[in-house]
Chains A and B, each alone.
Chain A
């Protein structure tokens, strides 16, 4: 092919290059596949929105605007029961803290039974992992509902719900950390004739403890978020107050409570970022 300048390129040149180097322009087949995927996604969304009766939004828009106005039209602020609201928030924080702590303690033991490096028996490991899958796979709100059935309304059910679902997730994360440890230290401890408990204590724990703590701190944050809604099923905390006020059409108070919760979560976020940075250094996350 002769050399050409930018001005001299004609459409027939482009056509001939396209013919000799089809890959550079993308094959017709891949173009068609791409378009087919995009079209089917668009058709799916339109179809499913029609199935979910999206046209109901048109009738509801007036009502939605009234609702939004009601959220921010704060009246009779003197009569809001702030004591009740802040006790509810404190309860949510307490539930999240205690639940995460219990989950951490459980995961500290169970993690060793779910890691390939520390649990040589495949059967035990698989059973433990499948149980953890179930603890994790059932939503925290469902656990809340189940524990309300078992121990009655109130924050105790919430603590247990958080503890169970955090055990499921933290054990998995802990076991992954245990599988990534440096084997040399473990071999060193083993060579001194130490038993499994001592190997776990001196071979594994010093390496994984910072990771464990950092992950538990993350879960304290995320449990605080999820604990705010546990009250919806009667498992204690601020959710109970939110849904009570919502059902009583006190939308301004609902907005106030939600704003307060958001501020709390923001503060915890910031605080735990500080603690994490202190414990394991800025660079690790």
Chain B
């Protein structure tokens, strides 16, 4: 029986030492990658601190002012007159809810306009996306030219932020909610079109082949083979988009494209301090309510188990 001399060869090849060799090799490799990643990260961090002038002294000077500002925009409410209505002379008592929300009717009208803007823009955008998504799906496009053109078109639609489109539309057709609706509709068409075409690409092709087999043309293949499969997902994505569009239409007003955004911009830049929280609160409540509502509708449409 031959004894094994552990120190004999320079490279013993029993299992343990092979494992150890391999492990140290891997560790070296990972160490190199880690140093590279950390170096790149620190470089990016340094550069971004430098270009955005995020220096400790500026931050130290700025931070207290942030809290100061949040202090000044808080409403001055007094509990004893909180629910006081307007007096006989039509004036509200300072410190009451009526005083804080004295422009309540204006805000509500603008909020309703904002929701309608989002709804119209979502319907228009979803319709455009519905028409665009079939030629933009790899498995359904009639030919590669149409496929590439419709893909690029949707990329341009969603690549530019909606507020830039709004800026352009305000310039072209004037101030008002129409500019906002068109801007959000274009952005939605691009964003939804991408999601829709991904759904199409995951759809089963068997119904399509069946319809092709009995002599259906391209439109009939789409109408009877694909649409019934993908419709629940389309509805769910459109509802999700509606939520996003409510947020978007609450800010396009900053550039004059209608909705509550104009009022928000006005109260913030005119130092109407307690009004800022008044408007913001309404916007947050609206957005939250619509979130909850559309989540309910989504689960109703496609069932909770299909959501994820």
- Chain A residues with CB under 8 Å of chain B are 41, 44-45, 48-49, 51-54, 56-57, 59-60, 63-64, 67, 87, 90-91, 93-95, 97-98, 101, 133-134, 137-139, 141-142, 145-147, 149-152, 154-156, 158-160, 225-226, 228-229, 232-233, 236, 242-243, 246, 258, 262, 265
**A232 B52 Cβ-Cβ under 8 A:** no
Beyond contacts A155-B53, A160-B62, A232-B255: 4 other A-B pairs, Cβ-Cβ < 8 A, are A63-B172, A91-B52, A137-B283, A226-B161
Q: What are the interface flags for B157-173 relative to A under an 8 Å C-beta threshold, 1 for contact and 0 otherwise?
A: 00111011001100111
Are B268 and A145 touching (Cβ within 8 A)? Answer: yes
Once bound together, how far apart are the Cα atoms of A98 and B181, in whole Å?
A: 33
Interchain CA distance A151-B65 in the complex, whole Å:
7
In angstroms, Cα B268 to Cα A176, docked, is 34
B287 A94 Cβ-Cβ under 8 A: no
Which of A54, A141, A149 sits near B69, CB closer than 8 Å?
A: A149
Chain B positions within 8 Å of A, measured between CB atoms, are 44-45, 47-54, 58-59, 61-62, 65-66, 68-70, 116-117, 119-120, 123-124, 159-161, 163-164, 167-168, 171-174, 176-178, 181, 247, 250-251, 254-255, 258, 264-265, 268-269, 276, 280, 283-284, 287-288
Q: Tell me whether A56 and B178 are in contact (CB under 8 A).
A: yes
User: CB < 8 Å: which of B53, B178, B255 contacts A154?
Assistant: B53
In the complex the two chains form, is B51's CB within 8 Å of A229's CB?
no
Q: Which residues of B contact A155 (CB under 8 A)?
A: 51-54
Q: Decide if A262 touches B172 in the complex (CB within 8 Å).
A: no
Residues of A within 8 A of B45 (CB): 97-98, 101
Verify A95–B251 contact, CB threshold 8 A: no
Are B161 and A229 closer than 8 Å at their CB atoms? yes
Q: Does B171 contact A141, Cβ atoms closer than 8 Å?
A: no
By beta carbon, the residue of chain B nearest A93 is B48
Q: What B residues does A57 contact at CB under 8 A?
A: 173, 178
Q: How far does the Cβ of A94 sit from chain B's closest Cβ, in whole Å?
A: 3
Contact B250 A232 (CB under 8 A): no
Whether A60 and B161, one on each chain, are in contact in the complex, defined by CB atoms closer than 8 angstroms, is: no
Residues A141 and B251 in contact in the complex (CB < 8 Å), given A150-B69, A160-B66, A262-B160: yes
Residues of B within 8 A of A145 (CB): 254, 264-265, 268-269
**Which of chain A's residues has its CB closest to B177's CB?**
A52
Assembly CA distance A160 to B161 (angstroms):
20
How many Å lie between the Cα of A104 and that of B221 in the bound state? 47
Alpha-carbon distance between A138 and B44 when the two chains are bound, in angstroms: 28
Contact indicator A87/B51 (Cβ below 8 Å): yes
Measured between alpha carbons, how far is A44 from B115 in the docked complex, in Å? 13
Minimum CB–CB distance for B60 against chain A, Å:
11
Closest to B62 in A: A151
Known: A137-B288, A141-B251. A49 touches B120 (CB 8 A): yes
Given A45-B124, A141-B251, A228-B161, verify A54-B48 contact (CB < 8 Å).
no
Q: Which residue of A lies closest to B247 (CB)?
A: A139
Assess the A150–B172 pair: CB atoms within 8 A.
no
Question: Does B173 contact A90, Cβ atoms closer than 8 Å?
Answer: no
Q: Please tell me if the beta carbons of A156 and B59 are within 8 angstroms of each other in the complex.
A: yes
- The distance from the CB of B269 to the nearest CB of chain A, in whole angstroms, is 8
Residues on B with beta carbons closer than 8 Å to the beta carbon of A150 = 62, 65-66, 68-70
- Given A48-B116, A52-B120, A141-B163, is A90 in contact with B51 using a C-beta cutoff of 8 Å? yes
Q: Which of A60, A98, A232, A243 contacts B172 (CB 8 A)?
A: A60
How many Å from the CB of B110 to the closest CB on chain A? Answer: 14
Q: In the complex, what distance in Å separates the CA atom of A132 from the CA atom of B66?
A: 18
Name 30 A/B residue pairs within 8 A (Cβ), A-sorted: A44-B123, A45-B120, A45-B123, A48-B120, A49-B181, A51-B116, A54-B178, A59-B173, A67-B168, A91-B52, A93-B48, A94-B51, A94-B52, A98-B45, A101-B45, A138-B283, A139-B250, A142-B268, A145-B269, A146-B268, A147-B66, A150-B65, A151-B61, A151-B62, A154-B53, A160-B62, A228-B161, A233-B265, A262-B160, A265-B159
